[in-house]
Amino acid sequence: MRHLSRRQLIATALAGVALPQSALARTPAEIAWEDLIPPGVPYSNIIADGEKDERNDIWRPVFDANATKLNPILDGAYIKMPGFIIPIDLSIDGVTSFVLVPYVGACVHTPPPPPNQLVFVTTETPWPSDDLWEAVWVTGEMQHDIQTTEVAETGYVLNADKIEVYIW
């Protein structure tokens, strides 16, 4: 058995502290929109017209019970997923909260997808407002949290630590 000298032990410990933070970063699980629905649960259907907000031109339909069934594996998961931005908090610096949607125009002049197909995203680093029509990758920790936003009811919340343009 080999014993480390005190000098070797200290050098090894210092080398570990000197590692760049990126070497210690978690690797996100890359997911797709269908992963938000629990296995064996069908996509939700609209079962009643609901209500239309004429002033904001938003329709809030009533979905069946499958709409709020969330994938338990994703609660607390560190993920990366693609989508499109529907801004909620927009300033001159950019967007700091938004609803991530699976296709362009979702929630705008069309019925929104069910809550388990919408993710409310917050970020400390604003996404530039001139890039709102671009598809993006969003990386961060996902949580279950049914909530109502200005544009739709969402099933998931993601605290984004990275947003980047999605390259087709």
Position 7 in a domain: no
Would you say 113 and 106 are in contact if contact means Cβ atoms under 8 Å apart?
yes
Q: pLDDT tens for the chain, 168 residues: list them.
A: 444 444 443 444 444 444 455 445 689 999 999 999 999 999 999 999 888 877 777 788 999 999 999 999 999 999 999 999 999 999 999 999 999 999 987 877 678 999 999 999 999 999 998 877 889 999 999 999 999 988 889 999 999 999 999 987
**pLDDT tens digits along 88-98:** 999 999 999 99
Position 87 in a domain: yes
Backbone angles phi, psi at 126, to 5 degrees: -60, 140
How many domains is the chain partitioned into structurally? 1
Closest CA to 99 of 59, 56, 152, 146: 152
**pLDDT tens digits along 89-127:** 999 999 999 999 999 878 776 789 999 999 999 999 999
Domain with residue 30: its CATH number is 2.40.50.870
List C-alpha distances in Å: 54 to 35, 57, 58, 99. Answer: 33, 5, 7, 20
Would you tell me how many other CB atoms lie within 10 Å of the CB of residue 44?
Answer: 20
